[in-house]
């Protein structure tokens, strides 16, 4: 099924867009019902300031986040933390495992 530009995207994990920050220390999992906003979020060439403005829209939701922490910057560990709804998961040592956990948290979010 093709979603027309005027149709709202379904509220499910399949329509979540994963977006890495410019510095690579944060990965956000966004959901939006607006196909135009989804296209902006998914496009790696969309400027960070445009993405930051999208956060304030009522139809854009940050479902989960993976954040990189470094001991040398003052964190108690070096690794990743995945968080959804204010609830963090234990530290994860590598990005591959953190992204796997991020996707699992997103799926669980929509099953609640």
Tens of pLDDT, residue by residue over 9-58, are 999 999 999 999 888 999 999 999 999 999 999 999 999 899 889 988 99
Domain membership of residue 32 (yes or no) is yes
What is the model's pTM? 0.86
Domain membership of residue 94 (yes or no) is yes
Domain that holds residue 95: 13-111
Domain membership of residue 1 (yes or no) is no
pLDDT of residue 6 exceeding 80, the answer is no
Percentage of the chain beyond pLDDT 90 is 71
Q: In total, how many domains does the chain have?
A: 1
Domain membership of residue 70 (yes or no) is yes
Domain membership of residue 8 (yes or no) is no
Q: How far apart are CA 62 and CA 105, in angstroms?
A: 12
Domain membership of residue 29 (yes or no) is yes
Domain membership of residue 104 (yes or no) is yes
pLDDT of residue 86 exceeding 80, the answer is yes
Domain membership of residue 5 (yes or no) is no
* Separation in Å, CA 3 to CA 8, 10, 15, 34, 66: 8, 9, 11, 11, 29
């Amino acid at each position: 099924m093709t979603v027309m530009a005027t149709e709202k995207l379904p509220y499910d994990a399949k329509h979540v867009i994963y977006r890495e920050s410019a510095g690579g220390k944060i990965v956000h999992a966004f959901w939006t019902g607006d196909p135009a906003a989804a296209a902006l979020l998914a496009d790696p060439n969309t400027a960070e300031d445009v993405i930051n403005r999208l956060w304030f829209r009522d139809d854009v939701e940050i479902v989960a986040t993976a954040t990189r922490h470094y001991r040398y910057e003052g964190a108690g560990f070096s690794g990743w933390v995945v968080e959804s709804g204010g609830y963090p998961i234990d530290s994860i040592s590598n990005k591959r495992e953190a992204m796997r956990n991020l996707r699992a948290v997103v799926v669980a979010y929509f099953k609640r």
